[in-house]
């Protein structure tokens, strides 16, 4: 079953989160899966997670069961505010140097263990160690210790409840882990025991890996060869611009999110910028292609007259994932998209993204 991540709905407190799920979850289910249970990819902020006691969690679980919904994954990446305020690099904080990140992840795991159906593997996505410029070599012993403690917690949960929950590092441009090869290196560097290693996985965000100009089959083969599990897949497209004129993407500049931008020269060299505005200001010559970390609805073949998307990456990679892998569309940028790309109710767009993904998952052609 393909679902969507609720980080598309602005919500920070638990009351706001439950209200958003109550408003939109049943409507999406009715459009996509009226006759069968429908999973949710639930985003919980640090604020929301701290507010939920046992009674609130059980009440939410009962409501989900009554509605034919269940929580399959939890987005534990953005800890703080994620909408209607500049987020930029702060989205990675607290990172895995921090006890706050560890405590937050443990709480998410406890909640997911309650909400996850029996005999189903769940996953929690998390920051890929941290933002690259913030992490130093001396930080890795503490990072390894904190990650190990989180993984021990997941192992104990599995033994106690019979529910397997994976901690899924999500590679992202500008972070300690950007590429599939860097993910393999980090797995090797972390001093993890066998049980810990079993609980660590990757959240494979297709937009992020397309930004690295990775070949889908080679990326997945590398993960498989190194026995790296896939916790879940985030189905997302990036902006793509062929040619050197990065200024043509001016209308996608906005103050909330970080839009890492990667250009490719004709000789294959990659040129990386922390944000789109910096790439536009630099306007380097000799670029053959640009890709921008700006999630756009996956059904779009073009994001504007002059720009395309990395939907071709999705078309190639979606049929390659094992059938049991949980997938979720993740266009969290809905509210900052240009108006002409944000037409109709958000639930219609979500349903259309899920339908598109379902067809591409089967290798079918979408008209």
- DSSP run (H or E) holding 81: none
Please give the Cα distance from 246 to 237 (Å, whole number).
18
> Which residues span the domain enclosing 102?
2-237+307-361
Which segments of the chain are extended strands (E)?
2-4, 38-43, 69-75, 122-126, 165-169, 200-205, 229-235, 237-242, 261-265, 270-273, 287-296, 302-304, 307-309, 327-329
Report the domain count for the chain: 1
Residue 367: is its pLDDT beyond 50?
no
Does any domain span residue 113? yes
Does any domain span residue 336? yes
Q: Please list, residue by residue across 239-265, b when 16 or more beta carbons sit within 10 angstroms of its beta carbon and e when fewer do.
A: bbbeebebebbeebebebbbbbbbbee
Q: How far apart are the first and last CA of the chain?
A: 22
pLDDT single digits (tens) 85-113: 999 999 999 999 999 999 999 999 999 99
Does any domain span residue 269? no
CB-based burial of residue 51 (10 Å sphere; 0-12 exposed, 13-18 middle, 19+ buried)?
A: middle
Q: What is the pLDDT of residue 343?
A: 86
User: CB of 170 within 8 A of CB of 126?
Assistant: yes
pLDDT single digits (tens) 213-236: 999 999 999 999 999 999 999 999
User: CB of 77 within 8 A of CB of 116?
Assistant: no
Residue 176: is its pLDDT beyond 70?
yes
Residue 191: pLDDT band by 50, 70, 90 thresholds? Answer: confident
Please give the Cα distance from 120 to 256 (Å, whole number).
35
Sheet with strand 122-126: strands edge to edge: 2-4, 327-329, 229-235, 200-205, 165-169, 122-126, 69-75, 38-43
Does any domain span residue 366? no
Does any domain span residue 263? no
pLDDT single digits (tens) 312-344: 999 999 999 999 999 999 999 999 999 989 989
Does any domain span residue 108? yes
Residue 366: is its pLDDT beyond 80?
no
Please give the Cα distance from 71 to 122 (Å, whole number).
8
Sheet with strand 287-296: strands edge to edge: 270-273, 261-265, 287-296, 237-242, 307-309, 302-304
Distant-in-sequence, close-in-space partners of 19: CB < 8 Å, separation ≥ 6? 11
Residue 341's CATH number: 3.20.20.150
Token pair of 171 as six digits: 């590679």
pLDDT single digits (tens) 164-173: 999 999 999 9
Does any domain span residue 258? no
User: CB of 231 within 8 A of CB of 125?
Assistant: yes
Cα 73 to Cα 20, 146, 225, 280: the distances in Å are 17, 21, 25, 36
Q: What is the pLDDT of residue 286?
A: 92
**Considering the entire predicted model, what is its pTM?**
0.96
CB-based burial of residue 93 (10 Å sphere; 0-12 exposed, 13-18 middle, 19+ buried)?
A: middle
pLDDT single digits (tens) 236-295: 999 999 999 999 999 999 999 999 999 999 999 999 999 999 999 999 999 999 999 999
Token pair of 288 as six digits: 């053959």
Does any domain span residue 210? yes
Q: At what angle do helices 99-115 and 140-161 cross, to 10 degrees?
A: 20
Cα 222 to Cα 140, 180, 311, 323: the distances in Å are 24, 7, 22, 19
**What is the residue-averaged pLDDT of the chain?**
96
Q: What is the DSSP letter of 7?
A: G
């Amino acid at each position: 079953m393909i679902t969507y991540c609720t980080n598309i709905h602005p919500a920070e407190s638990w009351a706001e989160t439950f209200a958003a799920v109550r408003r939109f979850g049943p409507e999406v289910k009715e459009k996509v899966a009226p006759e069968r249970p429908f999973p949710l990819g639930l985003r919980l902020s640090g604020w929301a997670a701290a507010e939920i006691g046992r009674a609130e969690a059980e009440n939410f679980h009962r409501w989900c069961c009554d509605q034919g919904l269940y929580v399959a994954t939890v987005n534990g990446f953005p800890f703080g505010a994620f909408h209607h305020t500049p987020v930029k690099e702060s989205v990675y904080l607290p990172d895995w140097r921090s006890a706050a990140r560890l405590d937050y992840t443990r709480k998410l795991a406890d909640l997911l263990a309650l909400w996850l159906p029996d005999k189903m593997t769940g996953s929690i996505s998390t920051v890929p160690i941290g933002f690259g410029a913030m992490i130093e070599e001396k930080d890795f012993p503490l990072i390894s210790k904190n990650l190990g403690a989180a993984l021990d917690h997941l192992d104990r949960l599995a033994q106690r409840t019979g529910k397997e929950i994976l901690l899924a590092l999500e590679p992202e441009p500008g972070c300690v882990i950007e590429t599939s090869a860097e993910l393999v290196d980090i797995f090797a560097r972390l001093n993890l025991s066998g049980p810990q290693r079993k609980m660590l996985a990757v959240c494979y965000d297709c937009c992020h890996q397309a930004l690295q100009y990775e070949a889908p089959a080679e990326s997945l083969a590398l993960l498989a060869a190194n026995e790296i599990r896939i916790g879940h897949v985030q189905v997302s497209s990036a902006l793509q611009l062929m040619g050197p004129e990065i200024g043509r993407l001016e209308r996608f500049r906005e103050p909330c999110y970080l839009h890492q931008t990667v250009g490719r020269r004709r000789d294959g060299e990659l040129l990386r910028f922390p944000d789109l505005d910096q790439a536009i200001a630099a306007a380097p010559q000799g670029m053959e292609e640009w890709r921008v970390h700006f999630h756009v609805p996956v059904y779009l073949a073009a994001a504007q007259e002059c720009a395309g998307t990395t939907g071709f990456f999705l078309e190639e990679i979606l049929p390659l994932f094992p059938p049991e892998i949980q997938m979720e569309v993740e266009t969290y940028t809905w509210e900052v998209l240009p108006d002409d790309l944000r037409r109709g109710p958000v639930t219609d767009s979500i349903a259309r993204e899920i339908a598109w993904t379902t067809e591409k998952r089967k290798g079918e052609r979408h008209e």
